[in-house]
Structure 1
């Protein structure tokens, strides 16, 4: 009987160590929504100081044209160039947050750019965010341009 209880205990301890954390809070979700809002604001106002605060140093970004930006310097430079070369009102609307544990999450957003001529470029963005010293930061961005208007 003791061996049976020991085996069950070991199984429960090891299996719980690898489970996703379902206990993320509404507060954490709001912090992530606020992070994406800060990213959007930094892009809109071309605030490189704010960008450097909310991005991890080894961030990587894949933009809809297929270009990779690796590292914070390249990402910030590319973001500023893109905002200048492609002016328009950008909006990011968080559609879902999937926590991968206590310190990481996937964030899917609708990403729209309203051009000066009134046309709207509809895309998707996925952000990988991680908790760094208790603060959520962006570690990866994937922008996608769907072939349909979804």
Structure 2
């Protein structure tokens, strides 16, 4: 009887950290999805104030044309230029999130641009994310246009 009770308590104490870690990842996943939604809105509205809040100062971005944008100012200027050049409705839908640690994650998203003339550009975006004192922020972005698209 005592062994059974002791075993039960042991299993509870071993399971608790796992359950809390799972709950934490769910909350972090929700926060990351909201962050990427805010990124999408900021891009659509060309809201530089919001971009500065959600991007790390040392952000780097590799876009599908092969252009590297290094640093916050270069990234924001490039995003504005790209939004003006490639006009259309942008949709980012997070497909998966991988946590590398409690403070670092990678999120892969389907990235679609529907132009006003009906052309649809289907790409992938990978976001490198860091948990800061202010919450999750974007540290890097990699856009890819699959061959044949």
TM range (shorter): 0.7 to 0.9
| 2:31 match: secondary structure | helix
Distance 1:81 1:119 in 2: 19
What's the CA shift for 1:22? Answer: 6.6
Residue 65 of structure 2 aligns to a residue in which SS? coil
In 1, Cα distance between equivalents of 2:119 and 2:61: 25
Q: Name the CA distance, whole Å, in 2 between partners of 1:137 and 1:61.
A: 14
Which residue of 1 is the match for residue 33 of structure 2? 33
Q: Give the match for residue 68 of structure 2.
A: 68
Q: Does 1:47 align with 2:50?
A: no
Residue 85 (structure 1) shift: 1.1
**1:135 and 2:135 aligned:** yes
The whole-number CA distance in structure 2 between the counterparts of 1:101 and 1:34 is 19
How many residue pairs align between the two structures? 129
Q: How far off its partner does 1:140 sit? A: 0.2
More helix by share: 2
TM-score normalised over the length of structure 2: 0.83
Regions of 4+ moved over 6 Å = none
1:90-142 Cα shifts (integer Å, max 9, x gaps): 00000000000000000000000001111100000000000011500000000
Structure 2 stretches lacking a partner, 5+ long? 1-20
Partner of 2:15: none
Give SS of 1:66's match: coil
Rounded to whole Å, the distance in 1 between the matches of 2:123 and 2:131 is 26
Gaps of 5+ in 1: 1-20
